[in-house]
Amino acid sequence: DAGITQSPRHKVTETGTPVTLRCHQTENHRYMYWYRQDPGHGLRLIHYSYGVKDTDKGEVSDGYSVSRSKTEDFLLTLESATSSQTSVYFCAIRGLGNTDTQYFGPGTRLTVL
Amino acid sequence: GQNIDQPTEMTATEGAIVQINCTYQTSGFNGLFWYQQHAGEAPTFLSYNVLDGLEEKGRFSSFLSRSKGYSYLLLKELQMKDSASYLCAVNSNSGYALNFGKGTSLLVTP
């Protein structure tokens, strides 16, 4: 258990509204990641962070922004949600040690109507 | 970029052995991962290979051939609870992020 929580776990919103998803970790991991998972596409990287205030884009970053003001929290914001952003969102952390093993949070199921 | 391929679906019988293959093409390589994901749940880490050869962990084993860009996950003595998706992922050189295949959905039947 890497001590990762995500909130909310489920959310239904309407097109055009802003949405923020939160990922919280308790073990001081430096690297954190946001992925989305869709049928037929697998897990795709949205953004990642390599420290407080240090973030970078992933494969599918358009329409998303992130912030990391504290080590333990990594926020994903959809400024104006669209139906194409309906997905399951997973946060992950890079574990300690020599491998790059990632450990995932429980996920957030987001529906944009 | 990276391209990772694995079969979409497989079916196997309880008690049998199943091999799930993964091929990849990558400009850089720092390791290959296998994850298990049950329906409605988060992926959980199964195995990591960075050198050629077989890594065994209980009923699960993972093999890597870097020269061939090939890995497989071997599941022995299949149990009903092994019905899940199995995700192959390769380490990216960018921020240690992982690039995932689309996953193989394994159904174990009685």
Q: Per-residue pLDDT tens for B69-83?
A: 999 999 999 999 999
Q: In this predicted structure, what is the pLDDT of residue A1? A: 55
Residue B26 in this model has a pLDDT that exceeds 90: no
Residue A103 in this model has a pLDDT that exceeds 90: yes
Of A28, A31, A21, give the one whose Cα is nearest residue A89: A21
The β-bridge partners of B11 are B107
Are A76 and A89 in contact, with CB atoms under 8 Å apart? yes
Furthest CA-CA distance within chain A: 43
Q: In this predicted structure, what is the pLDDT of residue A97? A: 72
Contact B99 A45 (CB under 8 A): yes
Q: Please report the sign of the dihedral spanned by the C-alpha atoms of residue B83, residue B51, residue B65, residue B33.
A: positive
| Rounded average pLDDT over B86-99 | 84
Which residue on chain A is closest to B34 by alpha carbon? A101
Residue B96 in this model has a pLDDT that exceeds 90: no
Chain A touched by B13 (CB under 8 Å): no
Of B26, B21, B24, B25, give the one whose Cα is nearest residue B7: B21
pLDDT-based confidence at residue B91 (cuts at 50, 70, 90): confident
Amino acid at A56: D
Which residue on chain A is closest to B41 by alpha carbon? A106
Q: Which residue has the higher pLDDT, B26 or B19?
A: B19
Give the long-range contacts of residues B57-61, CB within 8 A, separation 24 or more: B60/B34
Residue A20 in this model has a pLDDT that exceeds 60: yes
Are B46 and B36 in contact, with CB atoms under 8 Å apart? yes
Alpha-carbon distance of B82 to A33, in angstroms, equals 27
| Rounded average pLDDT over A3-13 | 96
Are B55 and B47 in contact, with CB atoms under 8 Å apart? yes
Percentage of chain A lying above the pLDDT 70 cut: 97
For residue range A28-58, list pLDDT tens digits in order: 899 999 999 999 888 999 999 999 999 999 9
Residue A74 in this model has a pLDDT that exceeds 80: yes
Residue A72 in this model has a pLDDT that exceeds 90: yes
Residue B1 in this model has a pLDDT that exceeds 60: no
Cis peptide before A8 (omega within 30 of 0): yes
Contacts of A41 in chain B (CB under 8 A): 102
Q: In this predicted structure, what is the pLDDT of residue B93? A: 67
Q: What is the mean pLDDT of chain B?
A: 93
Range 5-44 of A in CB contact (< 8 A) with B: 31, 33, 35, 40-44
Q: How far apart are the first and last CA of chain A?
A: 34
| Rounded average pLDDT over B17-32 | 91
Alpha-carbon distance of B61 to B63, in angstroms, equals 7
Chain B closest CA to A67's CA: distance in Å? 16
Contacts of A93 in chain B (CB under 8 A): none
Find the CB nearest B33 among A44, A58, A101.
Answer: A101
Q: In this predicted structure, what is the pLDDT of residue A95? A: 84
